[in-house]
């Protein structure tokens, strides 16, 4: 144990940090410094109480989540680009609820309960472009605005008032090119729900990006087990040891802004060695990992006094600008290299920056508390107002198909596999767990603690 560790034992809970330089210390050395939003820390200690394992395994808990969380909270239904043209539709299923998102004739997006007002048939089961919303069972029909346009054999329905037979709407709003829905009329507006989150994305407008890869996979664990595996860099030491000479893991920065806010974030630096191995890692080791694991192919010559991080940021900025045609001259080194990952309760994980343009979403898989869906978007930035290609089609991977079956994810596939291999063991072990329950690290797992605090707020409301 180092001297710093022993000193830190006297600190108040949550104040201890990995010995050695942290994110802000490295930022001070970057050639292009990060935007102001990244240059502050916002950690709030929220206790060290264990979590009950049943939160991840019990059907009863899952059913409470459906009722108290999913039916109450703003959540992502799809991308705006999925429903860009008049008549485009997208189906969002969660638990037993199904919401149909439609681009109407007036250009506005609307969300409807996906259920025919005759005998309940789901109006649509797949995305697609339509001129009207016609039920496949008996043919009742609604306009794209949800107005009743045909009641088949109307003479037999004198008890239906056609003007009042319109599809009930669900609340809908958008942010960052994502369509959000909310099934509760009592919830605050999306703007209130997001709070200051959008301000952190001002330098990285997600609405000016388009989908170049989109994959959803059935995961062998509860949606929170799957999600939480991506909310900390603590696991890199054992789960992704091949990247240790390139990834700042234990010295990542975790911010949660307190329980009044529905989002948190993690900053994990790249192109520096992990504190676990820094003492015996050379700059050439870091470069070698960049080549092998992250596919870096450019030549790097380190001038006197220049660090690998500084040089890789410069070279990667040039390569990315050439490849995308974007002007990245003002992009921070951190925007190009690092994991700048936000989390919005309950299940949305948008990344900031331009070098790793990822989005994750996690969902329960129907009513099975032991499996879930993990969805990944890779978004390519484009200039506002420019033409961009139609979104890449969604690839669906089953429980048994691993992430490398989605070659469009490139080097991410093997890394996601490493994360996924742990999950059935976590789910299995949680069911037989003894001791006090799930013990979270005060700092490195504080985003998970924050998630469960928000979850409790909804469950207890
Ligand atoms: S159930 Fe839809 S038309 Fe009959
Ligand atoms: Fe991981």
- What confidence tier does 1 reach under pLDDT thresholds 50, 70, 90? very low
Cα 4 to Cα 16: distance, rounded to the nearest angstrom: 10
| Ligand 1 site, residue 136, Cβ cutoff 6 A | no
8 Å CB contact between 341 and 351: yes
CA of 140 to the centre of ligand 1 (A): 6
8 Å CB contact between 247 and 233: yes
pLDDT tens sequence across 219-260: 999 999 999 999 999 999 999 999 999 999 999 999 999 999
pLDDT tens sequence across 264-321: 999 999 999 999 999 999 999 999 999 887 777 878 888 888 999 999 999 999 999 9
CA of 136 to the centre of ligand 1 (A): 7
Average model confidence (pLDDT) for the chain?
A: 95
The stretches of 77-230 forming alpha helices (DSSP H) are 190-194, 197-200, 223-228
8 Å CB contact between 266 and 253: yes
Is the pLDDT at 34 greater than 60, yes or no?
yes
Is the pLDDT at 4 greater than 60, yes or no?
no
Which atom of ligand 1 is closest in space to residue 117's alpha carbon? 2
Picking from 334, 352, 332, 333, the residue whose alpha carbon sits closest to that of residue 342 is: 352
* Residue 76 three-state SS: strand
Residues in the chain: 461
Which atom of ligand 1 is closest in space to residue 119's alpha carbon? 1
- The contacts found for 279-282 with CB under 8 angstroms, 24 or more apart, are 281/244, 281/245
Cβ neighbours for 331, distance < 8 A, ≥ 6 positions apart: 32, 317, 354
Cα 356 to Cα 182: distance, rounded to the nearest angstrom: 29
Is the pLDDT at 5 greater than 70, yes or no?
no
- What confidence tier does 3 reach under pLDDT thresholds 50, 70, 90? very low
Cα 224 to Cα 228: distance, rounded to the nearest angstrom: 6
| Ligand 1 site, residue 135, Cβ cutoff 6 A | yes
* Residue 26 three-state SS: helix
- What confidence tier does 371 reach under pLDDT thresholds 50, 70, 90? very high
CA of 249 to the centre of ligand 2 (A): 11
| Ligand 1 site, residue 118, Cβ cutoff 6 A | yes
- Ligand 2 ion: Cβ-proximal residues, 5 Å cutoff: 419
Cβ neighbours for 29, distance < 8 A, ≥ 6 positions apart: 307, 309, 310
**DSSP secondary structure of 250-298:** TT-EEE---TTSSEEEEEE-BSS--TTTGGG--HHHHHHHHHHHH---S
Which atom of ligand 1 is closest in space to residue 120's alpha carbon? 1
Q: What is the average per-residue pLDDT within 134-139?
A: 98
CA of 113 to the centre of ligand 1 (A): 14
Which atom of ligand 1 is closest in space to residue 116's alpha carbon? 2
Cβ neighbours for 49, distance < 8 A, ≥ 6 positions apart: none
| Ligand 1 site, residue 351, Cβ cutoff 6 A | no
Is the pLDDT at 380 greater than 50, yes or no?
yes
**What's the pTM value of the predicted model, to 2 decimals?**
0.96
Q: What angle do CA 55, 236, 51 make, to 5 degrees?
A: 20
- Of all protein residues, the one whose alpha carbon is nearest to atom 3 of ligand 1 is 138
pLDDT tens sequence across 49-70: 999 999 999 999 999 999 999 9
| Ligand 1 site, residue 149, Cβ cutoff 6 A | no
| Ligand 1 site, residue 121, Cβ cutoff 6 A | yes
Is the pLDDT at 14 greater than 60, yes or no?
yes
| Ligand 1 site, residue 116, Cβ cutoff 6 A | yes
pLDDT tens sequence across 111-120: 999 999 999 9
Please tell me what DSSP assigns to residue 69: I
């Amino acid at each position: 144990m180092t001297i710093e560790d022993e000193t830190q034992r006297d600190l108040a809970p949550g104040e201890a940090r990995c010995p050695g330089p942290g994110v802000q210390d490295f930022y001070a050395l970057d050639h292009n410094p990060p935007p102001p939003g990244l240059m502050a820390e916002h950690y709030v200690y929220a206790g060290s109480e264990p979590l009950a394992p049943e939160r991840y395994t019990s059907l009863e808990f899952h059913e409470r989540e459906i009722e108290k969380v999913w039916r109450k909270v703003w959540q992502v239904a799809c991308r705006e680009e999925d429903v860009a043209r008049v008549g485009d539709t997208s189906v969002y299923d969660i638990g037993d609820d199904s919401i149909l998102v439609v681009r109407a004739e007036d250009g506005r997006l609307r969300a409807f309960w996906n259920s025919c007002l005759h005998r309940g048939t789901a109006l649509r089961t797949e995305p697609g472009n339509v001129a009207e919303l016609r039920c496949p069972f008996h043919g009742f029909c609604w306009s794209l605005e949800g107005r009743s346009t045909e009641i088949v054999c109307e003479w037999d329905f004198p008890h239906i008032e056609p003007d009042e037979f319109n599809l009930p709407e669900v609340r809908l709003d958008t942010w960052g090119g994502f369509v959000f829905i909310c099934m509760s009329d009592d919830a605050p507006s999306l703007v209130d729900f997001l709070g200051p989150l959008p301000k952190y994305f001002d330098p990285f407008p997600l609405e000016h990006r388009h989908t170049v890869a989109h994959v959803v996979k059935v995961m062998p664990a509860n949606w929170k087990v799957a999600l939480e595996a991506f909310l900390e860099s603590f696991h890199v030491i054992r789960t992704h040891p091949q990247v240790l000479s390139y990834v700042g893991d234990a010295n990542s920065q975790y911010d949660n802004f307190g329980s009044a806010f529905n989002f948190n974030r993690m900053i994990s630096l790249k192109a520096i060695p992990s504190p676990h191995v820094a003492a015996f890692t050379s700059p050439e080791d870091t470069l070698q990992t960049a080549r092998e694991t992250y596919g870096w192919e450019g030549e790097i010559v380190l001038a006197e006094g220049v660090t690998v991080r500084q040089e890789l940021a410069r070279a990667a900025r040039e390569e990315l600008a050439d490849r995308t045609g974007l002007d990245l001259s003002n992009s921070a080194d951190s925007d190009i290299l690092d994991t700048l990952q936000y989390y919005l309760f309950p299940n949305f994980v948008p990344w900031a920056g331009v070098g790793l343009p990822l989005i994750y979403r996690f969902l329960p898989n129907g009513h099975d508390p032991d499996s879930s869906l993990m969805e990944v978007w890779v978004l390519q930035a484009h200039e506002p107002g420019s033409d961009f290609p139609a979104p890449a089609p969604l690839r669906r991977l089953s429980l048994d198909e691993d992430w490398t079956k989605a070659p469009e994810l490139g080097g991410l596939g093997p890394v996601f596999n490493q994360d996924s291999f742990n999950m059935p063991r976590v789910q299995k072990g949680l069911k037989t767990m003894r001791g006090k329950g799930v013990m979270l690290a005060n700092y490195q797992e504080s985003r998970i603690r924050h998630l469960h605090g928000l979850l409790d707020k909804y469950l207890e409301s």
